Amino acid sequence: MRSFYLVLLATSLLYGLESWELKEGSGKALVKVACTQCHNERTITPNRGDREDWKAIINLMYSYGLPKLTPEKKKIILNYLSVNYNNTIFLRRKPIHSQWDKINF
């Protein structure tokens, strides 16, 4: 029983410590400028996905009114998101593609 409480404590600490702010990393500043005009970082950071998943997200954001990104900027943003918010890293919710598969764009 004691180990159960220890696991519970460790898990809640892990969840509590995970910040919703954008992680430090190359490209962060650009993501902040391009992606927090309509919603804050909290909408982005609980998501996980590979490059293709994040590409689909950017296309979805275009449909919401995200101004067209230059290919260079899009590449930097995709690099940042697929490295820092990849679906192989500690999961908090289902990877994006498990939901996108069910949506017909």
**Where on the chain is the footprint of ligand HEC (CB under 6 A)?**
34-35, 37-39, 43-44, 47, 57-58, 61, 64-66, 77
Q: Is the sign of the CA dihedral 54, 60, 62, 64 positive or negative?
A: negative
| DSSP state, residue 22 | P
Closest CA relative to residue 100, chosen from 36, 62, 54: 54
Contact in structure between 36 and 45 (CB atoms under 8 Å): no
CB-wise, 39 or 51, nearer to ligand HEC? 39
CB of 80 to ligand HEC, least distance (A): 9
Closest to ligand HEC by CB, 13 or 33: 33
Query: Please, what is the minimum distance in Å from the beta carbon of residue 64 to ligand HEC?
Result: 4
| Residues 42/84, Cβ–Cβ less than 8 Å | no
Smallest distance, ligand HEC to C-beta of residue 62, A: 9
Nearer to ligand HEC, 12 or 20 (CB): 20
